[in-house]
Structures are given as C-alpha cells and as structure tokens.
Structure 1
Amino acid sequence: MKKILIVEDEEELASNIAEILTGLEYQVAAIVDNAYSALEYLEGNLVDLVLMDILIKGDVDGIDLAYKIREKYDLPIVFSTAYSGTEFLERISSDIHEGYLLKPFTLDSLKAAVFFGLKRHSERPARPEKSRGSLKVMDKGFLVPIPFNEILYLKADGLYTKVFTKVKSYLVRDILKGFEDKLPEEQFIRVHKSFLVNVNHVSSFNAKKINLGEVSLPIRRGLYKELIEKLQVE
C-alpha cells in the first residue's frame, strides 16, 4: 500500500483528503501543515508521495519545501492549489513536481493526480549526475538548496546577485564572481559581465544575444564561437 504525506494547512480539507485517499486504498502516512514538520517527518519515515499545498504555514512555502525535499529524497510531489491563473501555474511548471491539483477538486481528480504522480515518477529517467548538486542560498533567513538543473541564469546586481529559476528568483548578498566556483563549469558559462547562464536551458543564440525560453540576455563580444563549442553545436 502506497504511503502519502499530506502537507496542508486547512485542517478540515486535510481530513477530507485523508479520508478520500484511505478509501482509494492509499495509506496516509501523516498530515502536517508546515515545512519544518514535513522535513522532520521525512527524516525518520518512508513515504511514496507528497501531496502538498503551495501556501502552507510558516516562512517556507510549498515551492521552497519542494526544493528541499528534492535535495534529499527521490520522491514524487503533487502540488495542490486554489490558484488557476496562467502566471501562477507557470511558476510551478518545473521538474520539482509530478503534477498539480486545482482546488476545489473532485474524488476523481484527486485519484488521477495521485495515480499519475506515482506513475510519472516511476517512469522518469535518472537525472545526470552533474545535475544532482545544488546551490545553497539564504532566502528570508532560511537556507534553500536550489538544484543546479533548476537554475536558468544569475544576474549581477551591485553587491548582490539575483538567481533565477523557472519557479521564482532569489536575491543573494554575494557578487556574481563568487558563484562561478560554486557552479559546475561544464553546465554554466559567463556570457556577459552581468550574466551567468545554465547552458542546459539555452534555446537559441546569435552573436549578440542568447535566449533561454522567453528570456533574452546580451552576450559579450567574441563569445559566439565559445558558445558553439560549449553547446557542441555542429
């Protein structure tokens, strides 16, 4: 029987979810309402899936909690959220989760989200070893591990550096140069005095700019040939 950890700060909803999952022949491992309790539980217990609200109690939300869980455990995560706007859904569009469930949900939608969450995780190919590391940053007084593969690019901002991921951005008190030694050189390249990018997210480039999906960044003069070699473009 698959064990599911529920991370939900609405007590009545959490109880309803637990009742439904039990009826679907899953075992509810525990119900917690904040990141610390979730991590503490995972430290000493095995589960098969985490069903997690994004807006939970405490300063660490469900998205940052997902990063922390991914750093230590190979577990499928299914988000639940009451927000259905395109901008919000794009914030959680990354491989830190196996699916999301829009509130209010039905028994069938919950059943499908959990089933496919477990299925996608079991079918997911192993990640390359170089992508398994993470960059540790301080955010609102908390240490957050950001998997290398989640980072799109870093931008210099005076004495600070902004770290951009598909999900959100972090402002870190350290100059951009300080990050070059912390990131794998085969995966990151300084394309400009103000930008360090993850080559795995490059969608296109020319002699003047480089594109990472919808984001366009300038590149320094003479980098075009180096980029071709770095990206192994024929």
Structure 2
Amino acid sequence: MKESATKILIIEDEMIIGANISLQLTKLGYEIIGIISRGEEALLFIKENEPDIILMDIRLKGKLDGIETAQQIQKEYDTPIIYITANADEAHFNRAKSTKPQAFISKPFKKLDLQRAIELTLSRIGDNEGRENVVKNNPDSRYILSDSIFVRHHEKMLKIIISNIFYVEAERNYCRIYSKDKNYLLVMTLKTLDEKLPKEHFMRIHRSFIINISQIDEVGSTYVVVAKRAIPISKIYREELLKRLQTV
C-alpha cells in the first residue's frame, strides 16, 4: 500500500475461516481490523471504526443475515462489500445483487480469487477518487481562510477557492460540494458543514442545499438557479435570501 494499509473488516460466522482469510490478507499487506460473526455486532463495530472494504458472509449468526446486514450498513455508509458465501444458489444471489456488491465469491474459493476481488475493488475506489475527492470526516479536516476552504484528502490538505463553489447538496450523512473544477464528497452532514462555511458567502436555503450567494443567476418563487441547476428554496429561507440580495 502506498500510503497506509487498506483496512478490511471480515464478517464471517465460522471463525476458523475468518482467521484463515485474515492470515492470507495480512500476508498480502492488508490490515484486518476485525473478525465478527453477527450482523448486529458488525453494525456497532462499524460505528466506531471505518473499514475501507467489508468481506461479508451471507450466512451469519444472530437475527440478521449478511444481506440484511449489508442493507443496514448501506443506509449510512458507502463502504464497498464483497460477499463470500457457500450459499451460491439463485435466490441468495438475486438478494445479494440488490445490494450492489463489488464481488460475489463462492466457497470454497482460491486465495487468488479473493486477492483479485479486493484489487478490483480498490481500483474502482481509485477511479472514483480520480473523479471526485472523497474526504474523511476527521475533527481537524476543515480549515477556512477568507478566500478558501481546506479539506483533508488522505494525507494532503486540498484547497477549494470559495468563489469557485457553486452549491452544496446533502446526501444522507454525506454532502457534496459542486465547484467549477471538481466535485468533492465530504463524510459529514450538511448541518456540520453549514456551521463551518463563512456566512458572508454561503446560505442554507433548503434542508438539502447550501448555496454560494454570489453564484445565483436567477431567483424564482420557489427556486434559485445556480450553475444552470434549479435548486429549491424553502419558504422559511426566502425572505432572508431576498434581504441579502441587492434587489431593485
């Protein structure tokens, strides 16, 4: 790994198999942050830890099977999931497919199959990061100057010029900054980002949107147009927005 080892969580109900997978992947340079046998425990574990990839067995101990656990994870996180299972029948495959996993590996599997599945997953993640900068939510990850905001991307601080930002849109527990050059996906809520952005430039006009006031091209009765996109404006924010605009 170039910067730090990829963190992998193994969710597997047979601990011997889980330990064997852990040993193989550790030898390949990956960091195994946990081996868990129950979906309920995995959900709690993920809240305190941030795996880069999850290896998920479909058959698990407890109330939730692997597919149900994956569905719960995907309500809050974007973590890639690779299924490893002995239940490779059509019914299980169709259920698993609905969660859009990165791969589906049937037991018994070869070490090379697992290695390639992880490498392909990391390749896809890398491609996505090439299109947009995915920012981890560290307490010190945002720094704001008078003309720019800095966000942490891996070990680097990336500078975004405030005047280049069009608007910010909420996506569950994430928010996406749309700017002239790139889009940036931040792992934080819109409320948190709203508290950090300078109020002289930005305003929240909807539960899902913050806009750069200087980028407004048109104001309608229920929307504003920014960068050719019509963005809804809630009634409670409209009067305040008009006060901040120079109107004649």
Query: Which consecutive unaligned segments of at least 5 residues does structure 1 have?
Result: 134-234
Secondary structure, aligned partner of 1:78: strand
Match of 1:67 among 62, 68, 71: 71
Distance in 2 (alpha carbons) for counterparts of 1:34 and 1:64: 11
TM-score normalised by L of structure 1? 0.51
Deviations 1:40-96 (A, max 9, x none): 111111210000101101111111111111111111000111123333322222343
Partner residue in 2 for 1:23? 27
Q: Return the structure number with greater relative CO, CA threshold 8 A, min gap 6.
A: 1
Partner residue in 2 for 1:86? 90
Partner residue in 2 for 1:119? 123
Secondary structure, aligned partner of 2:75: helix
List, as ranges, runs of 4+ consecutive aligned residues in structure 1 with deviation greater than 4 Å: 129-133
Give the conservation status (yes or no) of the 8 Å contact 1:66–1:97. no
Partner residue in 2 for 1:8? 12
Distance in 2 (alpha carbons) for counterparts of 1:7 and 1:16: 13
Give the conservation status (yes or no) of the 8 Å contact 2:67–2:95. no
1:57 equivalent to 2:87? Answer no
What is the CA-CA distance between 1:103 and the residue it aligns to? Answer: 0.4
Partner residue in 2 for 1:48? 52
Distance in 2 (alpha carbons) for counterparts of 1:118 and 1:37: 25
Residues 61 and 121 of structure 1, relative CA distance in 2, 3 Å threshold = farther
Give the conservation status (yes or no) of the 8 Å contact 2:58–2:87. no
Give the conservation status (yes or no) of the 8 Å contact 1:48–1:75. yes
AA paired with 1:120? R
Residues 121 and 42 of structure 1, relative CA distance in 2, 3 Å threshold = same
Secondary structure, aligned partner of 1:120: helix
Give the conservation status (yes or no) of the 8 Å contact 2:76–2:172. no
Q: How many residues align?
A: 131
AA paired with 2:117? A
Q: Pairwise CA RMSD of aligned residues?
A: 2.2
Secondary structure, aligned partner of 1:79: strand
Give the conservation status (yes or no) of the 8 Å contact 2:13–2:60. yes
Match of 1:96 among 91, 95, 100: 100
- Percent identity over the alignment? 35
Partner residue in 2 for 1:146? none
Give the conservation status (yes or no) of the 8 Å contact 2:40–2:63. no
AA paired with 1:96? K
Residues 66 and 30 of structure 1, relative CA distance in 2, 3 Å threshold = same
TM-score normalised by L of structure 2? 0.48
Distance in 1 (alpha carbons) for counterparts of 2:39 and 2:92: 20
Residues 42 and 131 of structure 1, relative CA distance in 2, 3 Å threshold = closer
What is the CA-CA distance between 1:131 and the residue it aligns to? Answer: 8.4
Residues 41 and 53 of structure 1, relative CA distance in 2, 3 Å threshold = same
What is the CA-CA distance between 1:115 and the residue it aligns to? Answer: 1.5
When structure 1 is superposed on structure 2, of 7-16 and 111-120 the one drifting more is 111-120
Distance in 1 (alpha carbons) for counterparts of 2:86 and 2:38: 17
